[in-house]
Amino acid sequence: MLTSRDMFTGLPMITAAAFFMQMFNSTILNTALPSIAESMGRSPFSMQLAVISYALTVALLIPLSGWLADSFGTRRVFLISLGLFVIGAVLCALSSSLPQLVTARVIQGIGGAMMVPVSRLTLMRAYSREDFVRVFNFITIPGLVGPVVGPIVGGWLVTYASWHWIFLINVPLGLVGLVYALRLFPDYRQPRGPFDYLGFTLIGIGVLAMTSGLELTGGHGASPVLAGILIVFGVLSVVLYVFHAKRFRFPIITLKVFRTRTFCVGIAGNIVARLGIGSIPFLVPLMLQVGLGYSADIAGLILIAPAVGSIMTKTVVLKLLRRFGYRRVLLFLTLCIAGIFMCMGLQQPGWPLTLLVVQLLIQGMLMSGQFTSMNTITLGDLPAETASDGNSLLSVSQNLSISFGVAISTAMLRFFSSGGELHALHSTFVAVGLMTAASAFIFMLLKAEDGAHLFGKDTDTTASSRPEGKE
């Protein structure tokens, strides 16, 4: 059993780096698409395939991560996934055509789909419940910083170097991660039955169809009817999986995870909250540049504020959870975040820049605490036999809800566009705030004592609920 003393030298540092690389990689490409299109002789609008191919690959393979980690060991699967991520990055940099780039992004997506879920699952098994919350709070920060830093670094590399470096920058990070993982990454396994081919197919079709539909709804030029058909087809596929999982002895994701009440509340709250929160990285740059008239470089610097805010709350959220409990903290954070979003819907051109920076700083502080609280209450009570499946479900739901949030906010911008761009942005921010506030009704289902044992207030269940593993 590892302790929090290993936080800055071992597994949590590796997990944080993997989390940062995945989130950094998911946003850095957007700023380089015009340059890549020019070098490949393609239209910038056709380059969206390079983004979608990565997202679809990740969405398809996340459900597989739990079974692979349990069957072959967390260490082996993590090393392979990190290796594939680095190889995919090199192949992306060497690509000279769009088909080559898409293929390389698929390879990178295979690695990206496994890195974070497997490392997070390993943390769940390596640390006691008390240390798990503290460690998870630490690894949440890179996930908030990555999407902010990505566009800034991407724009700088494209301007002063070349687009190839947005992929090559992953190579030294990945190689250092491999060296440390070979020395420090533990190997945990959980007995699993034979591979559930039908279940994986049903979940894969469902996740792919819903993700594709959401991507199309988000404004990539396809018919809304086709997007709707894909989403409905994906939902039906997931419903079929539920019937299959009830009958099959070894489903790839067991329905037993829903016997844990805090998991049910946590994952439902995650989905609803991220419908609003997930659209913010998309909406804020639009507000800064289109609505308020800031240049791209100034907007990039302003976006550092939420990243700084997320770092500032690293220890505060733990004290709040320990003193007031998950229910009160989640209700407070959710309503405050909703209020900040609606306040941004009042922002006008010419208002002091300091006011906007303070809003974004507070937003980063609140969202950091929200993510730590939501994720740890979702996973903290899961027993050993369902930990990997619950972790996979959380990853899938987060990806889908964020995509859905962007799609909804895009539809709102179009709906409100008759009043002008600034009016559309203001109205969308208010609507997103109301969506976020709606998740408070779900978090009200938590009991006052839920999560208390994660801070040592109920130590009788701590040791017995942790799985045994091999290192």
Q: At residue 468, what are phi and psi to the nearest 5 degrees? A: -85, 145
Identify the top-confidence range among 145-154, 159-168, 237-246, 271-280. Answer: 237-246
**CA 426 – CA 60 distance, rounded (Å):** 35
| pLDDT over 90 (residue 440) | yes
d(CA 435, CA 273): 7
Task: Choose the weakest-confidence range: 104-108, 285-289, 342-346, 366-370.
Answer: 285-289
Is the pLDDT at 151 greater than 80? The verdict is no
Tallying the residues shown for the chain, one arrives at 471
pLDDT above 50: residue 270? yes
Query: 57-104 pLDDT, tens per residue?
Result: 887 888 888 889 988 999 999 999 999 999 999 999 999 888 999 999
- From the centroid of its chain, how far is CA 61? 15
In angstroms, the CA 429 to CA 423 distance is 10
3 pLDDT exceeds 70?
no
Element (H, E) at 415: helix 384-415
234-238, 324-328, 343-347: the lowest-pLDDT one: 343-347
Q: Coil, helix or strand for 449?
A: coil
Mean pLDDT of the chain: 82
DSSP 360: H
Interval 320-338 mean pLDDT: 93
Phi and psi at 25, nearest 5°, equal -70, -30
Check residue 291 and give its pLDDT.
82
What pLDDT, on a 0 to 100 scale, did the predictor assign at position 260? 93
- Cβ distance 326 to 450 under 8 Å? yes
Q: Are 354 and 127 in contact (CB under 8 A)?
A: no
Question: Where do the DSSP E strands lie in 254-413?
Answer: none
Top-confidence residue, 384 or 47: 384
Residue 468: per-residue pLDDT: 39
Kindly write down the DSSP assignment for every residue of 193-247, as one continuous string.
-S--HHHHHHHHHHHHHHHHHHHHHTTSS--HHHHHHHHHHHHHHHHHHHHHHHH
Q: Match 């993997």 to its residue by tokens.
A: 18
Q: Write the DSSP symbol of residue 253.
A: S
pLDDT at site 350 = 83
* pLDDT above 80 (res 282): no
Provide the pLDDT for residue 7. 46
Residue 159 backbone phi and psi in degrees, to 5: -75, -45
Question: Smallest Cα–Cα separation from 336: which of 357, 361, 362?
Answer: 362
**For residues 334-352, average pLDDT:** 89
Q: What is the pLDDT of residues 225-255, one digit of tens each?
A: 888 888 899 999 999 999 999 999 889 888 9
Rg of the Cα atoms in the chain:
21
Average pLDDT over residues 415-439: 89
Examine the pLDDT at 222 and tell me if it is beyond 60. Answer: no
List the helix and strand counts (H, then E) for the chain. Answer: 18, 0
**Cβ proximity of 419 and 241 under 8 Å:** no
Which pLDDT does position 471 carry in this prediction? Answer: 36
Rounded (to 5) percent helix, strand, coil in the chain: 80, 0, 20
**CA torsion, points 428, 280, 28, 87, in degrees to nearest 10?**
-120
* Both tokens assigned to 356: 């906007």
One-letter amino acid of 98: L
Percent of the chain at pLDDT exceeding 90 = 25
Q: Under a CB-based contact definition with an 8 Å cutoff, are residues 63 and 205 in contact?
A: no
What crossing angle do the helices spanning 98-126 and 74-94 adopt, rounded to 10°? 160
Q: Is the pLDDT of residue 458 over 70?
A: no
Q: Residue 459 above 60 pLDDT?
A: no
Lowest mean pLDDT among 11-20, 115-124, 454-463: 454-463
How far is 171 from 89, CA to CA, in rounded Å? 7
Q: What is the per-residue pLDDT for 283?
A: 81
Taking the alpha carbons at both ends of the chain, their separation in whole angstroms is 10
Compare 200 and 275 and report the one with higher pLDDT.
200
**What are the beta bridge partners of residue 470?**
187
